[in-house]
Structures are given as C-alpha cells and as structure tokens.
Structure 1
C-alpha cells in the first residue's frame, strides 16, 4: 500500500486511541474497540476510504481522549476489515503503513487529528550495520535463555536488509513499559534507536540469567526437601514395621493443635517463640537429653491459660456481702476494699479500657491472726476467681519470682507463672504473703522484681526468664500482707496502699469465737452444734486467760484442742450425747492459764510507772522501774533496749534535771544536805544535790524481749521524777508519748493496740499526746473508750501533775 494514494501530508484523519501497546508500520494487527469515539473514527475511515491514526494512551489515563492523555507519535494505516461482535464491541484488522506524529488535536473535534509522517534519518551506514549485527548477536543469546525469539523470527531478522524494519521488529517483541517504548518509538535517529534497543536486550539477558540461577537453587532445595520427606516416610515405615510407637508424632500434632487454638490470645512474640520451640522439638531425636527439657518447656507454655478469664464482671454488693459474712468488725478495712472494687466496677460499666487494669495494690498490715490473708480469700470468693498464695517470707533468690533461664539445670518458671498455671485463669487473686520479710543476697533482690510486678504501667509485659517472652499480668488482682510496714523498702511502699488491721478487743474476740471459730472447728472435728455447749463466761475466760495475741489464731488452736478432747470423750463413752464445758471444766481440757496482760497493781509506789507499748502481736503494758543509790549522779539503764530507747532515757533524765534546777519539780528536802552562807550563816537548799549525790538505775523488765522506740519517753521521765522527788506514782494510770529535750510531748503510733492493752490490764486513766487525742480517738473501739479515762498531755509538767501523788 502506498501513502501517495491517500494524498499529501500533513492531513486530518480519524484518530483511534489504543490502551495496550505501540503498533509498528509493518504489522497487521487485530484491534478490539469498545470506545464510542474509536468506533466512529474507524467507521469514518471506512466510509470515506481514509487512513486512520493509531495512538497509545499514557499509563493511568486509559479511556480518556484529552490532549495530554495519549502519546503524540503513533502509526498511520488502513482498516482492512471490520466485524461487529455480539457484545457490542468491534473487531478491526489494521495494517500499519508508516510512523506519524500528531501536529494538532482538538478534543471538541472528537475523532479527528492533524498528523504528519515521521521520517527517520541515519548518518553512518557502516556504524548502523555494525550496530544491527551486535543487536542480532544479543537476540540470539536471549533466545537461548527463553523462547521469546523463536528460530524463524531470528532468521527473518537476519535476512532483512532494512535496519529500520529490524529495529521495529525487535521492539515489537520486547515487553517494555510505555514510557520507554515511546522513547525508542519516537526517536528519528536510527543509530540511537538501535543502541537503546541493544541496552534493553542486554538488561533482559542479565535478568534471565539471575532468574535461571534462582530457579536452579529453588529446584535443588525442593528436590532436597522431597528427598528428606521420602526418607522420613521410609524411617516411619521402618519404625512401624519394627513395632516402634508413634507417640512423639502424636504429641507434636497435639502441641501444634493447642498452639493454634491459643494463637489469637497469645502475644505475637509468645507465639513465635513457642512455635519455634515446637518445630525444634519435632526435629529432635526423642532419646536426646535436650528433647525432654524442651518438651517440658512446651508443655509448660501451653498450660498457661492464655485467653481464659474467670468472672470478669463483678459487683461491689457481692464483695461487701462476702466480707461481712466472713469477718466480724474490721469496718474500715472492709469499707476501703469496697471502695477499691467500686472504682473497678464503674470503669467496667463505662468500658474505660485504659484504666480497667490500673489501680492501687492493696496491702493489709497488722499483727498475725487479725485476718489479713482471710480478707484476700473473701475477695477471691466474692469475685468467683481462683486464689493463688505466694509466700514471700525469707525469699532471697530473685529467680523464684522471675524464673530461671533455660540454660540452667532444673530451670523452672517463676512462682507467678506457676500460679497462673495452677489457677487455670489469667485473672486470679494473687496474695503476696509476708511482703515485709523479703530478703536479698548475692543472687539478687526480690523486692526489685516486685516493683515491676506491682506497677500497672509495667506488669502488662512481665518477662519471665524461663519463658523468654512477656506475659500480661494486668488482669491479676494483687493483694499483699505484712506485719511491720517499717521493713518494706521505700520504693515498694510507693506501689501500694496500706490498710491497717489492728488488734481485736476482748468483745470482738468473743463474737468472732462465737459466730465463726467455734462453728468452723465443730465442723472440722465432725461434731454437731447440739453436742457441745460452751457458756459465754467460759469463752471470755479462754480469751482473757489462755491466749496472748492481737488476733485470733491461737484462740482457734485452743478451741481445736478443746474439741479434740471432746471427740475422744464421746468415742470412749457412747452414752454421752452432749458435752458441756464450763469454767470449772477448763482445767480438765486445757493446761494452766497463760495470762495475757497482768492487771495493774493496786498499790501506789515510788519509781514504778506504767508505759504502753506496741508489739508485732498487739499492745502491752511496759513497767519501768527506777531507784536511787548513793553515788556521783550517773544514770544506768538496763533491759534489752535499742539505741532509740537508750537515747530516750538520757533525754528523760536531762528533762527531769532541768525541772529540778528550775524548781518546777519539788524535791523532798530531807534527802538534800544543807549548805551555809559564809557571811550570815543562813541555811540554803541546793536542789541539784539530789542528782549529784545519787546514781539512778533505770530498768525495763523482761530483758529477753527486745524493746525499742521513743514512745516510752514520758514514762521514763515520770519514773525518774518519782524516785528523785520521793513521790509515789498512781498505780492505775498508764501513758505513752515521745519526750523532747524541751519537755514537749510528741505523738506516737499504734494507739489502738496500746489502749486495748490498758483496757485489758484494767487501767483507769491513760495519758496520751494531744495530737493523738485529736486525730486518732475515732478509731478506738467504743467499749475501750467507755472503760478508760483518756486525757491528753502537751508537756511533761502535765504528766507529773496527773500521775504523781
């Protein structure tokens, strides 16, 4: 076909925009058209026997006929045939004639463009011929790597003597991007166009070489894996023939099944680590020593109850009901616990996720037997959650909490992870018992690990060394207990809120015994309520004479001892249907009484004062004795005293001396030698002679019991003032308070225990610091306040005025 038959160029002809590939002049190509404008352009070319221009749309702009949406270089040719397909598309057989460039295109004209023929030029025929030979050599290399250039195509390229046709033929076979194809297609310099095609062919050669190498490596690995698979299958078959069991295979399948079930509940790090260990175990020989260790690890991890929670929702009313059911008194402690769970319930109702697991860790502080651990038990019951108890007393090895690394022989996870496994839930109540008795040595400091465990900001990613991945402890409710808050490290105190559980009064102990201890012990010993009768007076006598404690633990033991003897008595004599235990019968069932606190002396004496002391098992009466001996004014202090109490005795002695020197404390002049003035020979009395000529011996009895603290200051000062002034001290008065060098009385701690001790010792009047009187009396049981006359003192003079006769 000749261009001359269609007139001179440039000329305006119909425009078809193709979305897929560039067409070349020598090609006869079928085109499938569905665009309305393209179909109209073809129909116009056929109707008026015109040429048609085929342009290519740019990437991302297919279907558009805007001026910038297609390339300005394409192919001019004629439509050989047109067929309308059933689906509305049009199939066209197009024959390319020559490359052309769009000079002008107006979108409003819709289907026409003004085009001109694109002529190619060459400067050096020899160089062009050499480039064509290089191109043919590279095409042959590429054909050996893939089948893109078959032998007949290579032969056609070699026999073609038109360099332009060779370049177009190779370009049509190569799969290159539109922008790169346009760059080559539109280049009118033939040498540059051939060089560009050579570069593309070389890049494809290198790419296919790399692909071939990768394919060979992959195939070799696949062959090896197939080989390994067949060998393993043969080994299994041989083992089956030999009678060997397939227990390991079944276990591995079970591990994988359990791991898959827990995948969505475990953290990503936990899942990856466990999966890696399961796969490692599957490759191990069952007889290998490491196999059993690894299997123990996998079993331990899969036993952790990921995703299993107990009764996530709870109510404050159920907690309060359970606490009141299990405990008598302890009103402040029960109120604080209810407030704690009220906050959690509100966060749960309002679905405030960030704060649900955050909150203060409660720590119950008090003497043994007052109900610290049993309060935690009640919390667990009320929440319907399992209870885990972790005894921290004497723990020195940090790995007990953190877990051991698996490199050590006998490695195991820490107690917290074991607790979760035993509880079978991820949100149990964990009681950290005796947190004040944590130890530390060269193996670490467990209290440092407790900082992470009890910190809501950190415990959601607690890392156990044995597991080697983090575990979320944020849903666990931690409750700790302690006897002495002073022994807890300061950073650990900051993580907890302390609820003090003080000593029980005799009346509280009676109700606890009647309503809780006796029914529980009867049930434990297989006795019925109507088989044993204990009078109120008997219970009160047991409380006052047979126990010495702040709580009720020993009281429970006494009832247990009673009921064991009752059981034996019933079995020995079948005619007995009921056993009555009165005051007179106690000698038969129990040993000699153990007096808890001796009643106060009824005789007023010189130099003996009653102090009130706090101990780990409750309050106590501390008698302080003082005598004066002829000497040089020295002070001797005996008793098992700590440094603070020794310093307090020195301060008390100095205060008393000051009172004497300033004649605030009157001295019996009979004990003071007279002196005479030189001029008028008048008798003078020097009060300081009383402590200059006498040594004072201050003694605190019960030397086997260690005693320390400043709260006996006014008691020691009173004893010293009494012995130096020779004035008696009221026997029915007791006191507590720290004394300063200026004679002021400072507040003390443990007031409730001290006043209960005074109440038990039948003291009538108690002297306490003013600040304690103003802030702490609300906590004192009403029966104690009704039985005692409680007065406050501000200075040592107030003490002397109230106590000395």
Structure 2
C-alpha cells in the first residue's frame, strides 16, 4: 500500500507496556502515566480515536520514538472511568491497523501522523486451506496447553474473515509480545496466516517437549518423595476429617519411632515392609493387631543401644566385696574378665555357671556382677520350663504368639550387653513340646549366639556381647552338651565363721532395717549368733539363717513395742526363749566308740551331709540285706565292700564261712531319703569289718571314698562340702582318697586348722586309722559270727 494513496491523519498515541491490541478486540486498559492520560483526554475531546502501539521494552517509563513499534492499532475509546487510586480504566475497541509516519509532538502527550492499513478481501482457496490448517493446529495447542478453554475454539471457528481469524487466534496465544507484533505488522493475509502457522507449530513442539520432560521428571521422582507427598496429603485430609487417631496415626507413630532408631539394614527393611503392610490393612482386620504387635517388638529391641563398661578393677572389687563375703573364686573370675576387656576392648561375653547349694548367694552374686560392670541386669528362671518355645518363641502363625524368654529379657534390659542371669538351669524338663535345654545350646554358644534366631522375631539377634550367668544346684542335672558350653564356678557353701561374719555384716543390718529397728535397739553377740548357726540351722547357705535372724528381729520388735523397752540384748542362753527348742544337735559324733557304725560323708544338692552306716551280723543262712532307700550305685558299693571283706577274711581273723552262717544287714538311717552316689564304699567296708571283728570305730573319724574289689580307694567329688559337713558335726579326723589330697587347698584355712586330714590309698590304711586296736589279742576275740 503506497503512501501516496493514504497520507494519513493525526492521532494521539497511547504506548502499551506488555500488551498488544488487535483490530476487532475489545478490552479494558488501566492508564496511569501522565502522557497517556493526556492522550486519552485529547482523544475524548476530538473523535474518541486513539492509536495504540506497544513498547519494545516493558520497563521503560517514558519511551522514545525508537522504543515504540511503528505499527499499531487505531482504537475507539468506548468508556472511561476514573479509579480511586488515580488510574483511569478505559474500554477500547480495536478498529484497524495503522502505521506511524512521523511524530508531531511528544511534550504533553504523544501525537503522531499515521496512515491506516485496511484489510484486503480475498477468495483465494489457498487462504481457506490455510485457515483450516490454522484452526486444526490451534485445536492441538488447546489440548496440549490446557490454559485456553475449549469454548474459545468454538468461538474462533465461527470467524469467516481470514485476517480477523489470525488476529483473534494470536491474541489467545501465550507468546512473546515480539511474536504478536510480527502478526500485527504482517498486513498481507496469506503471509499472516503462514506466520501464525509457524508460531503454532513451534508452540506445539515446545508444549510436547514440556509434556515429555514432565513425564520423565515424574518417573524419576524418588519413591520416598512421592510417598511423602501422598502422606502429607493424607495427613491433611485426616486432619480435616478429624481422623488423626486410628490406623494412620499408628503408622505415623511407628515410622517416627523407626526414624529415631539405629538398626541393622535388614531389620530396617523388615520393619518398613511390615509398617507398609499395616498401613494397607483395613482397620477391621484381625491381622492388623498381629502386625502391630510384631513391629512393636522389633522397634523395642535394643539393636544398637549398649552401656559402657566400668573398667575400674578396684571399684569393681570394692562393689563385689561390699555385697558378698567370701566367694573368692567367682569374684576373681569377674575381675579377670574386666582386665581382659580393658586390654582387648572387645571380648565375647563369657558364659559362667555358678554351682552350689541353695542360699549361698548365686543369684545375688550375678546382680553384683552387673553392678560392678556398670551393666543392666536381667533375670529369668528356667525352673520347670519344659517347652522349647519358652526359649525360642512361637511362630507368628499361632494365636497369642510371643517371643521367647531370651528376647523378652533383652527387651527388658534395654541394652545389647547386659548381665543375663538364667536361674535354676538344672531344673529344666523336656516333654512332647520339645527339649528347652537343646534350644539353649545356641544361646549359650559364643560361636553361634551372634546370630540368635527367635521364631517370633525371625531376624537374627546378636547375643555375643551379653554376659550370661547361669545357676544350678547340681552339675549332674545339667545336660552334658549344655555343660560343655559353660565355665563352671563352684560355690560350695560357708563355714561357721563365714556364716557368722555374713550374719553380722549383712543379714542383721538388713533385717533390723526391714523390721523398723535401729542398730542400737537390738544387740546380738557373736556367741549368740554362733549358737543360732549351730543349733537352729543346718545348711550350706545362709537362707535359713536369715529366717532365724528375721524371727529374732520380730520378737525384739514385739518386746520393744509391748514392753516399752529401749534396747533388746540377746545372749546365747536366751536364744531358746526366742526361737524355741533347738532344731539340731550340734556335734553329732557319738559319745563312745561304736562297733559296726561308721560316719560317712555325702554330697547333696543342698550341700554336704554326714551319713551314718550301720551293720548288724546275726545268725542265719548267708543273706545280705540292704535298707535305707539306697540307689543302684550305693547297692553296688555295698556288694563290692562285702566281696572285699570275704576276700580278706583270713587276714582280718574272720571265719572263712561267715557268709554262710550269718545274715548281714547293712542299714543307712533316714530311710525315707533316697541315697545314691559312688562315695560310700570304704565306709560300708569299715562298718562291715568292724561288725565282723568286734573292733569299734573311733567316734572322731568320718570318711569318704569308693572301694575296689582289691581294696584300692578311689577319688570322689564334693570334698569341700563334705568337709564342711564333718566340721559342723564336730568330727576331728577325716579319711579321704589320696587322689583328692590336691582338693584340700579349696577348704578354708579355719576348717583345715580344726581337722586332721588323712589321705588313704588302700583299705588297709582306712582300717588302721578308723578301727581302734582291741584290748585283747585277735586269737582270744570272739567275732560276731
């Protein structure tokens, strides 16, 4: 269109920032700049026409002529409204394109000479095809963009003028002002449609790329982020609904607890998996409570919590001595463990077995070990346990399943390295439900217990840092494979002097405090304590002694309250007034030397005992009778003693046919008590020979040892317990097998000083020491045959 056809006319100019108006567009504009306001006022005064051109740079407040595009749109001002903030809102309608020829004035407002660029009409089929293509591409754009409503497509489809179609579509596109200006400046309709088609194709490709990138990013989004996002949404929904409690609240609480724990990787995965299962469970599902219980157990176990060992040997020794009197060997073993731990830093927990009669302090010693090490202490009792599941737990498929006692104990301890006491390990039993002692093999094996498997927990648990302490009354009752895994520490019992010190230092202060007495209110002398020990107790431990002390405290408390006494002093002679008639006779030795009666020494689960063996020979037909509820081993010992006596009849001046003309009755009193064991051979033989020869046995002699048919004396066990029993009973001389002489060092010095020990290797030595020489010669003695 040549300039000579249209010289143009004058228009006030309104520069637009970030906005562009096409012909046929109707829209509101907010005008605030002074020059723009004055240009509007000029237009309202004249013919309501104004030229709208866009700035090339949005940020410029007062653009120069070069910073305003040359082609814009002539618009008619339809409405003008002044807003409270001083801005003017105008409604404009675009009429047609116009090109600035020159600027006339730009002082108060922009005034320009511009020529209008009218649309050309065309019936070109190619233009119609371009229109259809543009509409199709615009439809794709709408589908991809989602920012243009489908109603816009319907409105645009009704436009028949190709130029107007291009302008309206461009106005709806989210493209740069420069691209919109290109469409505005393209006066030729065909070129305009082709340019719009390029823009639409380009936008469609960009949108498709954006969608692909979004999908890729979405796929790459980490699982945890997605779950976190969803959980946050779920939390928000639950919060709105007021459903914070319930299954979702449980799951959140469990996840919070898990995040605060340090657990092995496999355990972490297991717990997370079970929490996910719990989350998906319906609230009404019965299995949900089973899973919750399982997860609670896994979270509550001490997978990584441990206590620091107090490696101060002097401090540990002071604690052990403060709590217990004597017990040198167990104390020394604990201090050795501490010393090695200090050097090695990491030592597998030992498995100690404290063996001894009741009341000697096995359980309390284990508690003191934990105190001296600075460790947690946990105790379980195995007495009467006969179900393997008590140790290893039940499988979770069972109703009411729960972990075994080991895992329960570890949860109670709350650390990976407690002192774990297993009381009464010799009292376990086995039946159709399994053998619990076999299940303990894994627990008490240092090579296996680092991966202990509980049927309920299902993941390995490390027990290698636990210091296991077991207690038993009898080694014989512990299964051999289990015994092999433990280190035996024997606590045989206390002497009278030790008992007196224990009563003074531990039992009396403890009981006076428990009975509300002060040390000044009750005074019991050493002589009174000694009489109480001798005449009212007969035990290896001090349990019965503590009961008697408690009885004295009760009597004293009653006397103080009822008689208003300030102090109660108990003398030896007054003991029977408080405790009644003495229960035991101190000094069981016979007052006279006896024929056919010998004192043997026996070991029992409650300590050592003296055992009187009596033999009577009466005329008969050669019967050998054994009474006193004897076990098989003791019956065999009696048979061996009888055969030995027959073989030595001539040397002992006994008639060769004594066994044919006499009945021999061997009896051990207290017939209701079962007796068995390989340590009564020499005792029975001595009693038998004494009865047959008429030679009395010294009242001060007690003996222990097994016999062979040739008269050899075999070693026995439990020498310390037996010696203490002989000492309690008042015997002065003890005959023991030669092979047991090395065990004498275990016997307290106070006892060794009171007794005479005679090691013997043959029956001849036994007879020489035990039998008193006859007052008449052997030829004149008439044996009891």
Instruction: Give TM class, smaller chain.
Output: 0.5 to 0.7
Match of 1:399 among 370, 375, 389: 389
Q: Is the 8 A contact 1:602 1:732 kept in 2?
A: no
Q: Alignment partner of 2:648: what SS?
A: helix
**2:654 is aligned with 1:664:** no
Q: Alignment partner of 2:688: what SS?
A: helix
Match of 2:398 among 389, 396, 408: 408
Moved more, 580-589 or 240-249: 240-249
**2:768 is aligned with 1:798:** no
Q: Which residue of 2 aligns with 1:620?
A: 609
- How much is the aligned-residue C-alpha RMSD, in angstroms? 2.8
Deviations 1:595-649 (A, max 9, x none): 1665201212221111111111111111111111111222111111100000000
Q: Alignment partner of 1:729: what SS?
A: coil
Q: Alignment partner of 2:758: what SS?
A: strand
Distance of 2:601 and 2:642 partners within structure 1: 19
Distance of 1:568 and 1:603 partners within structure 2: 44
Q: Is the 8 A contact 2:586 2:730 kept in 1?
A: no
Q: Alignment partner of 2:384: what SS?
A: coil
Give the direction of change, closer, same or farther, for the CA distance of 1:344–1:221 in structure 2 (3 Å limit). Answer: closer
Deviations 1:388-409 (A, max 9, x none): 0011111111111111111111
The 5 A counterparts of 1:164-175 are none
**2:455 is aligned with 1:487:** no
Give the direction of change, closer, same or farther, for the CA distance of 1:768–1:411 in structure 2 (3 Å limit). Answer: same
Q: Which residue of 2 aligns with 1:248?
A: 247
Give the direction of change, closer, same or farther, for the CA distance of 1:256–1:795 in structure 2 (3 Å limit). Answer: same
Match of 1:272 among 262, 266, 269: 269
Alpha-carbon offset, residue 317 of structure 1: 2.5
**2:687 is aligned with 1:719:** yes
**2:756 is aligned with 1:757:** no
Q: Is the 8 A contact 1:548 1:596 kept in 2?
A: no
**2:340 is aligned with 1:343:** yes
Give the direction of change, closer, same or farther, for the CA distance of 1:366–1:559 in structure 2 (3 Å limit). Answer: same
**2:375 is aligned with 1:385:** yes
Alpha-carbon offset, residue 754 of structure 1: 1.2
Q: Is the 8 A contact 1:606 1:722 kept in 2?
A: yes
Deviations 1:313-345 (A, max 9, x none): 523322222111111112222222222222222
The 5 A counterparts of 1:686-765 are 687-765=655-733
Distance of 2:724 and 2:245 partners within structure 1: 71
Deviations 1:363-404 (A, max 9, x none): 111111111111111111111111100111111111111111
Give the direction of change, closer, same or farther, for the CA distance of 1:227–1:293 in structure 2 (3 Å limit). Answer: same
Distance of 2:534 and 2:763 partners within structure 1: 34
Distance of 2:559 and 2:278 partners within structure 1: 62
Deviations 1:431-473 (A, max 9, x none): 0111112211221211122111112221111121111111111
Distance of 1:275 and 1:313 partners within structure 2: 36
Deviations 1:251-305 (A, max 9, x none): 322211221222xx32222111111111111122223222222222222221112
Q: Which residue of 2 aligns with 1:283?
A: 280
Alpha-carbon offset, residue 243 of structure 1: 4.9
Alpha-carbon offset, residue 216 of structure 1: 10
Match of 1:524 among 514, 536, 549: 514
Distance of 1:248 and 1:567 partners within structure 2: 58
Distance of 1:742 and 1:597 partners within structure 2: 37
Give the direction of change, closer, same or farther, for the CA distance of 1:237–1:502 in structure 2 (3 Å limit). Answer: closer
Distance of 1:371 and 1:666 partners within structure 2: 52
Give the direction of change, closer, same or farther, for the CA distance of 1:242–1:272 in structure 2 (3 Å limit). Answer: closer
Give the direction of change, closer, same or farther, for the CA distance of 1:344–1:726 in structure 2 (3 Å limit). Answer: same
Distance of 2:329 and 2:228 partners within structure 1: 70
Match of 1:365 among 320, 338, 355: 355
Q: Is the 8 A contact 1:714 1:739 kept in 2?
A: yes
Distance of 1:613 and 1:218 partners within structure 2: 85
Distance of 1:611 and 1:424 partners within structure 2: 50
Q: Which residue of 2 aligns with 1:143?
A: none
Paired residue total: 560
Q: Which residue of 2 aligns with 1:586?
A: 575
Distance of 1:226 and 1:386 partners within structure 2: 40
Deviations 1:690-739 (A, max 9, x none): 22211101101001111111211011001111111122222221111100
The 5 A counterparts of 1:154-553 are 243-262=242-261, 265-348=262-345, 356-358=346-348, 360-553=350-543
Q: Alignment partner of 2:621: what SS?
A: coil
Q: Which residue of 2 aligns with 1:72?
A: none
**2:753 is aligned with 1:786:** yes
Alpha-carbon offset, residue 234 of structure 1: 9.5
Q: Is the 8 A contact 1:691 1:724 kept in 2?
A: no
Q: Is the 8 A contact 1:597 1:621 kept in 2?
A: no
Distance of 1:714 and 1:231 partners within structure 2: 86
Deviations 1:521-559 (A, max 9, x none): 122222211111111111001101111210001111111
> Given the two structures, how large is their TM-score scaled by the length of structure 2?
0.68
Distance of 2:252 and 2:215 partners within structure 1: 33
Distance of 2:365 and 2:444 partners within structure 1: 19
Distance of 2:525 and 2:484 partners within structure 1: 47
Distance of 1:228 and 1:437 partners within structure 2: 53
Distance of 1:536 and 1:372 partners within structure 2: 26
> Given the two structures, how large is their TM-score scaled by the length of structure 1?
0.66
Q: Is the 8 A contact 1:431 1:480 kept in 2?
A: yes
Q: Which residue of 1 aligns with 2:622?
A: 633
Q: Alignment partner of 2:307: what SS?
A: coil
Distance of 2:537 and 2:444 partners within structure 1: 36
Alpha-carbon offset, residue 244 of structure 1: 4.2
Q: Is the 8 A contact 1:547 1:596 kept in 2?
A: no
Alpha-carbon offset, residue 240 of structure 1: 5.9
Q: Alignment partner of 1:390: what SS?
A: strand
Q: Alignment partner of 1:592: what SS?
A: coil
Q: Alignment partner of 1:551: what SS?
A: coil
Q: Which residue of 2 aligns with 1:84?
A: none
